[in-house]
Amino acid sequence: QGPTGTGTGRPRSLPALPLVGSLLQLAGHPQLHLRLWRLQGRYGSLYGLWMGSHYVVVVNSYQHAREVLLKKGKAFAGRPRTVTTDLLSRGGKDIAFASYGPLWKFQRKLVHAALSMFGEGSVALEKIRLTAPLLPPKVCREAASLCETLGAAQDMALDMAPELTRAVTNVVCSLCFNSSYRRGDPEFEAMLEYSQGIVDTVAKESLVDIFPWLQIFPNRDLALLKRCLKVRDQLLQQKFTEHKEAFCGDTVRDLMDALLQVRLNAENNSPLEPGLELTDDHLLMTVGDIFGAGVETTTTVLKWAVLYLLHYPEVQKKIQEEMDQKIGLARHPHLSDRPLLPYLEATISEVLRIRPVSPLLIPHVSLADTSIGEYSIPKGARVVINLWSVHHDEKEWDKPEEFNPGRFLDEQGQHIHSPSPSYLPFGAGIRVCLGEVLAKMELFLFLAWVLQRFTLECPQDQPLPSLEGKFGVVLQVQKFRVKARLREAWRGEMVR
Ligand code: HEM
């Protein structure tokens, strides 16, 4: 450490040219997480690079990730502002892309409180009377509908992706708007289309984010993103207006009502401190964030889980044996069954480790001159945590490329634990994922419901789909088809 406590010298840096920075070292490598992982061999686990004029620090080890996220969380709690994120969040009025500050803290607190209120039924928001059903029964309702679809497609090769997206979107719709969609609903189809458009354009490491001055030229991706956001905003606005009109101030049906209620309480009681005013834009973007951060991530993890079960039928069999023993056929799985099904829980953990859905988290920014390890990091540096490296570090994990749910179980196979602290699928510290509890609830219930009833198989005429991910907004799964075979014990049984 130097005399200021901010480290001595910068980390080693990739070569950089004027204007383009280190882009040439990264161009032509679409799997950015893997490229950054491999560059450790030459530059060490912590190194710097330049994206245009932006200085970026890449963190590949758990020890440094812990320092950034936990030990010095506040110093690294900023987010970069880019053309794309400004468009997505109306200039950072959401949570995920907002700068660190009192309003961001307030929004986080509200959503966190609302999620625990709807999730566990704890009355966390003062003076709020809840009239909506809690989330676990809503997730079960969607799981039942998913099983119905799989049952109807018996023995056909099915692309489960749209069904999983619908199930997860409906959970988020229930949470935010107290509504859900049936298959083929035109509003729902529009929603799927614009979401895909956003995911596709944001995934294209848009050059305008590196060189904002490129905006003066026509840009097809940016134009598509703007069109998709227009549709998203119209839909959000319509829901918002409906909620404002129906809102009576003493009952809360969903997250949107909860946000309106909190704003009303604040206005009626004492005026909020300056800088803490929640404008309509803030409320809309907060809800938009829950969709943006909550649908693609959870759906993708479910797809990875299904894909791994096709590759490892013995894991699937073991989950089903555990379910048969602990739950049987007489009832559906509940959230409270989680401690009874440690092998299913361990499988979910292993999927989240081996294919982390956000392999580079969301970039952080240093808010002051600071340090990582012995190196000094200037204020304004973008810090990328390479979760892929952290989850595949041979010093932390035994045979990290091997899919082995058992590594998350104790010797008796009864309790779940992580054999290494180097496990951060939801990030950690003050920017940790806000939806971790909800996501884990969904992953558990959807998989438990499906596997209680069906065995998932690769259609006979098709090769096993690839386990290689594609880097984008999330680590995407390539398209694949599944045969959902009704399990022997369920044949002839009525769906209860
Ligand atoms: C399995 C599913 C999910 C995974 C693996 C996941 C993972 C993550 C990760 C890695 C981050 C970035 C942390 C960082 O930058 O340090 C994040 C942020 C975030 N996630 Fe999730 N997430 C999931 C589901 C959800 C859901 C369901 C919601 C909403 C209910 C959600 C809401 C958010 C929000 C709002 C942030 C931004 C937090 C902030 O910047 O303060 N996520 N998530």
Ligand 1, atom 9: nearest CA belongs to which residue?
426
| Of 208, 83, 149, 219, nearest in space to 495 by CA | 149
Structure tokens at 11: 């980390």
The atom number, within ligand 1, closest to the CA of 94 reads: 35
Does the CA dihedral 254-260-266-268 come out positive or negative? Answer: negative
| Of 136, 214, 208, nearest in space to 175 by CA | 136
Residue 426 CA to ligand 1 centre (angstroms): 6
| Dist. CA 256–CA 368, nearest whole Å | 35
How many domains does the chain contain in total?
A: 1
Tally of CA atoms within 13 A in the half-sphere of 83 that contains its CB: 20
Q: How many Cβ atoms are within 10 Å of 108's Cβ, its own excluded?
A: 17
Ligand 1, atom 19: nearest CA belongs to which residue?
433
* Residue 405 within a domain: yes
Q: Is residue 6 within a helix (H) or strand (E), and if so which, with residue range?
A: none
* Residue 5 within a domain: no
* Residue 289 within a domain: yes
The atom number, within ligand 1, closest to the CA of 98 reads: 40
The CA-based dihedral angle spanning residues 419, 74, 82, 20, taken in that order and rounded to the nearest 10 degrees? -80
> Are β-strands 454-457 and 483-486 bridged in parallel, bridged antiparallel, or unpaired?
antiparallel
Q: Which residue has the tokens 């939806």?
A: 435
Residue 292 CA to ligand 1 centre (angstroms): 9
Q: How far is CA 376 from CA 10, 49, 66, 373, in A?
A: 5, 14, 16, 8
Q: Is residue 220 within a helix (H) or strand (E), and if so which, with residue range?
A: helix 220-246
Please return the burial class of 431, using the count of CB atoms within 10 Å of its CB with bins 0-12, 13-18 and 19+: buried
> Are β-strands 483-486 and 370-372 bridged in parallel, bridged antiparallel, or unpaired?
unpaired
| Dist. CA 493–CA 430, nearest whole Å | 48
Structure tokens at 122: 């704890």
| Of 125, 105, 102, 103, nearest in space to 113 by CA | 125
Q: Bridge partners of 59?
A: 46, 385
Structural domain of 352: 23-490
**Which pLDDT score is estimated for 489?**
81
| Of 418, 400, 402, nearest in space to 410 by CA | 418
- DSSP-based three-state secondary structure for 384: strand
- DSSP-based three-state secondary structure for 455: strand
Q: Which residues line ligand 1 (CB under 6 A)?
A: 95-96, 108, 289-290, 293-294, 297-298, 301, 357-358, 361-362, 425-427, 431, 433-435, 438-439
Residue 486 CA to ligand 1 centre (angstroms): 34
| Dist. CA 330–CA 324, nearest whole Å | 10
Amino acid at 284: L
Residue 431 CA to ligand 1 centre (angstroms): 9
* Residue 273 within a domain: yes
> Are β-strands 382-385 and 54-59 bridged in parallel, bridged antiparallel, or unpaired?
parallel
pTM: 0.94
Ligand 1, atom 38: nearest CA belongs to which residue?
96
- pLDDT digit of tens for each residue in the chain (496 aa)? 444 446 679 999 999 998 888 888 888 788 889 999 999 999 999 999 998 889 999 999 999 999 999 999 999 999 998 888 898 999 999 999 999 999 999 889 888 888 887 776 555 555 556 666 688 888 999 999 999 999 998 779 999 999 999 999 999 998 898 888 888 888 888 888 888 888 877 766 555 666 566 566 667 778 888 888 998 899 899 999 999 888 877 778 888 988 888 877 777 766 666 667 888 999 999 999 998 899 999 999 999 999 999 999 999 999 999 999 999 988 999 999 999 999 999 999 999 999 999 999 999 999 999 999 999 999 999 999 999 999 999 999 999 999 999 999 999 999 999 999 999 999 999 999 999 999 999 999 999 999 999 999 999 989 999 999 988 888 999 999 999 999 988 776 544 4
* Residue 13 within a domain: no
Structure tokens at 253: 């049906």
* CATH number, position 440: 1.10.630.10
| Of 359, 476, 346, nearest in space to 427 by CA | 359
The atom number, within ligand 1, closest to the CA of 295 reads: 27
Q: Is 433 annotated as a binding residue?
A: yes
| Dist. CA 425–CA 299, nearest whole Å | 15
**Which pLDDT score is estimated for 123?**
55
Pocket test for ligand 1, best of 100, 297, 390 (most atoms within 8 A of CB): 297
Residue 102 CA to ligand 1 centre (angstroms): 20
The atom number, within ligand 1, closest to the CA of 104 reads: 41
Please return the burial class of 444, using the count of CB atoms within 10 Å of its CB with bins 0-12, 13-18 and 19+: buried
* Residue 18 within a domain: no
| Dist. CA 19–CA 267, nearest whole Å | 49
